[in-house]
């Protein structure tokens, strides 16, 4: 049976390993850091007020999935929104309802905190898009990014 829980300091190793696995699977130019670095970033997020939540999915005592959401505010939404930054399920547990369970838990969290909506960006994978559409999300456009780095220093 799959259950979810809010990640805490004792889950740092699980978070680090899952985020490392996610980054290794993704085809993009984010740095592939080791799981220890991701563990430390998670610990930092707990000590600083980043307005983020991470939920983990477990089967027994094995951590099999993760979802992270960050609080934001948008005038177009007339209030608080959640930005889902990561959703990852171990390959061995895909198509077994784990992603759905994680999304349902985040939807409930958003409802309880009176957020107006949840948004996310998805990789260009038809199967992934179909999953989000099945789970009640709708396509709203294209997302862009700009990397803020030291080259901007005056």
pLDDT tens digits, one per residue of 19-49: 999 988 886 666 667 788 887 788 888 887 7
Average pLDDT value for residue range 144-151:
79
**DSSP code of 29?**
S
User: Considering just the CA atoms, what is the radius of gyration of the chain in Å?
Assistant: 16
CA distance 7 to 143: 28
pLDDT category of residue 51 using cuts at 50, 70 and 90: confident
Number of domains the chain contains: 1
**Tell me, what's the pLDDT at 108?**
97
Report pLDDT for 119: 96
Query: In this structure, what CATH number is given to the domain that contains residue 117?
Result: 3.40.630.30
Task: Quote the mean pLDDT of the chain.
Answer: 90
What pLDDT, on the 0 to 100 scale, is given for residue 52?
A: 87
Q: At what angle do helices 12-25 and 35-47 cross, to 10 degrees?
A: 120
Q: What is the pTM of this model?
A: 0.88
Domain that holds residue 144: 2-152
Q: What is the longest distance spanned by two Cα atoms in the chain?
A: 55
**Residue 34, helix vs strand vs coil:** coil
34: CB partners within 8 A, 6+ apart: 20
Please name the residue ranges forming H helices in 26-70. 35-47
Is the pLDDT assigned to residue 137 strictly greater than 80?
yes
What does the pLDDT average to over 64-82? 96
What pLDDT, on a 0 to 100 scale, did the predictor assign at position 154?
64
Q: What is the pLDDT of residue 64?
A: 99
């Amino acid at each position: 049976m799959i259950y979810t829980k809010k990640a805490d300091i004792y889950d740092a190793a699980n978070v680090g390993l899952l985020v490392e696995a996610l980054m290794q699977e993704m085809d993009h130019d984010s740095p592939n850091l080791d799981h220890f670095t991701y563990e430390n970033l998670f610990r930092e997020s707990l000590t600083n007020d980043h307005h983020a939540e991470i939920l983990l999915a477990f089967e027994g005592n094995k951590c099999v999935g993760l979802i992270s959401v960050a609080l934001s505010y948008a005038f177009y939404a007339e209030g608080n929104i959640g930005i889902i930054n990561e959703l990852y399920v171990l390959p061995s547990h895909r198509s077994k309802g784990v992603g759905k369970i994680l999304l349902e838990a985040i939807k409930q969290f958003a409802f309880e905190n009176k957020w107006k909506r949840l948004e996310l960006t998805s990789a260009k994978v038809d199967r992934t898009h179909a999953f989000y559409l099945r789970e009640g999300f709708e396509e709203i456009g294209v997302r862009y990014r700009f990397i803020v780095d030291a080259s901007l220093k005056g």
